[in-house]
Structure 1
């Protein structure tokens, strides 16, 4: 099952990152993302305490139940095994972190879920993959240029990397052509002002622009 989902992510390439959204709007956000062509949606844990972790878990559960496998939901910014447990119990299919924590990676794999930790250097990337990560997100990717990406990938091009932070429809193609396996897109796609104004059509239209780039390559 996990390997099938990995294959689908390699095909679809895009993960929508949703953070701080009101629970009463999470299904409409998910619907907009889905209508735009995305098939993966990450709902992030808030480490500041502003949004209780139980609320994040409930949002994961709501979307998972509403879409019944049509939209694959994962948990983001997972930094403790307690958060991993909450996410798994809520039905998350993959676990994304901003860092490399081998304990989280191994616990994720033990739970039968896809592991996507964040890394920045070749040593971090290789260490995450050796610990069992399925993908590694290069984060923050907008702090480096394409030369860095190509240089990093040269000796470790067997490791699938996802570009995360600052990915736009305009630069997505460059990242994919540089060898990235996919990308995660956050507030550039799901803008807070659109959520506040219930302008979900704008989110769907932006999502479609990203999908069009993937389909053109």
Structure 2
């Protein structure tokens, strides 16, 4: 079982290293989510993070159905994960729906353990060197430094120096102007939200424009 889990972790982490972008899909209507993911995929982005809404009384159910819909419809094309996962219940729902990786804004040992138990890859949110090491030793496949825009590329470079063996994903405030800077600073990948997954484009049905935006980000990080 441990060997299988390590293979799954390596596959997901290697995919992040190769593609370098995880699109954060937050608050997209159910009737638009497939078109949104298809547009991102057409632009070269296949890693899709669908987030839980902690403030909504139906957030768990809604996110479960969104993940399941994308996994069932586009599972051969995209790699679906769950974001803003903060409870073990949400871990279970996400994995049952088809998520293969679990991303959190914080580091919770119970959430990481439940993720590993379910055969998925954990990517908890951290900030300090101690949190980074603790999360990785707890079984995280990669750690998410959030919010990276409050810390900057200088912090990322500095923290990577003594712990270069730990894969880091940079999240928060990333746009076309700074995306490549974070990759050069040592991030294996980036979690990108509203600057990529533009709700105005989606609500207007401008999926071709969304595809072009995805292509622009891919070009930036692969330079």
With normalisation by structure 1, the TM-score equals: 0.96
- Which whole-Å deviations, capped at 9, do the CAs of 1:100-138 have from their partners, x for residues lacking one? 001111111111101100111111111110100001011
Distance 1:24 1:145 in 2: 37
Q: Say whether 1:91 aligns with 2:98.
A: yes
- Indicate yes or no: 2:134 matched with 1:150: no
Q: Distance in 1 between matches of 2:193 and 2:200?
A: 13
Tell me, what secondary structure is at the counterpart of 2:31?
A: helix
Aligned residues: 216
Of 121, 132, 154, the residue aligned with 1:125 is 132
Which of 107, 112, 123 is residue 114 of structure 2 equivalent to? 107
| Structure 2: stretches of 5+ with no match in the other structure | 1-6
Which of these residues, 72, 77, 82, is aligned with residue 70 of structure 1? Answer: 77
Residue of 176, 192, 199 corresponding to 1:185: 192
Which whole-Å deviations, capped at 9, do the CAs of 1:51-108 have from their partners, x for residues lacking one? 5211111111111111132100000000001111110110101000000001111111
Say whether 1:46 aligns with 2:53: yes
CA distance, structure 1, for counterparts of residue 56 and residue 101 of structure 2: 22
Q: Structure 1 stretches (4+) deviating beyond 4 angstroms?
A: none
Report the Cα distance in structure 1 between the residues aligned to 2:131 and 2:71, rounded to whole angstroms.
31
CA contact (8 A) 1:20 1:51 kept: no
Structure-1 separation of matches of 2:195 and 2:90: 26
Note the C-alpha offset of 1:145.
Answer: 2.1
- Pairing 1:5–2:12 present: yes
Give how far 1:50 is off: 5.7
- 2:30 aligned with 1:23, yes or no? yes
User: 1:169-208, aligned counterparts within 5 Å?
Assistant: 169-208=176-215
Cα distance in 2, alignment partners of residues 46 and 37 from structure 1: 26
* Residue in 1 that maps onto 2:87: 80
> How far has the Cα of 1:202 moved from its partner?
1.7
After superposition, the C-alpha distances for 1:11-31 in whole angstroms (9 at most, x for unaligned) are 111100011110011000000
**Alignment root-mean-square deviation, CA:** 1.1
